[in-house]
Amino acid sequence: MSKDLIKLAKELSNEDMCELINLFADKIDIYIGMSPVNVLRSAELDREIPCVMNGNVIQINTEWAFTEEVIPFVNES
């Protein structure tokens, strides 16, 4: 990571970061691994409201991407 990006990240407010997340929402996927059941779920950011401020913190809203089914991520053979 470049020093310029680190400097920028330290200077941004949570509101600024939330706006940036909204701008890049279509390029963000979230993968959630669940242990000990060894499954993975995939989510995209919500199309209508991907990110909002919730008090002083950033709230990221997701939609399940392709399926409501879990995706196994450990080969059990």
pLDDT tens, 18-29? 999 999 999 998
Most confident of 30-34, 43-47, 49-53, 73-77: 49-53
Q: What is the pLDDT of residues 4-19, one digit of tens each?
A: 999 999 999 999 999 9
Whole-number Å distance between alpha carbons of 3 and 44: 29
Provide, for the chain, the percentages of residues in helix, strand and coil under a 3-state DSSP scheme, each rounded to the nearest 5: 30, 35, 40
* Residues 17, 58 contacting (CB under 8 angstroms): yes
| 21: enclosing H helix or E strand | helix 14-23
**The pLDDT of residue 30:** 87
* Residues 5, 30 contacting (CB under 8 angstroms): no
Compute the residue count for the chain.
77
Instruction: Tell me what the pLDDT averaged over the chain comes to.
Output: 84
**The pLDDT of residue 3:** 95
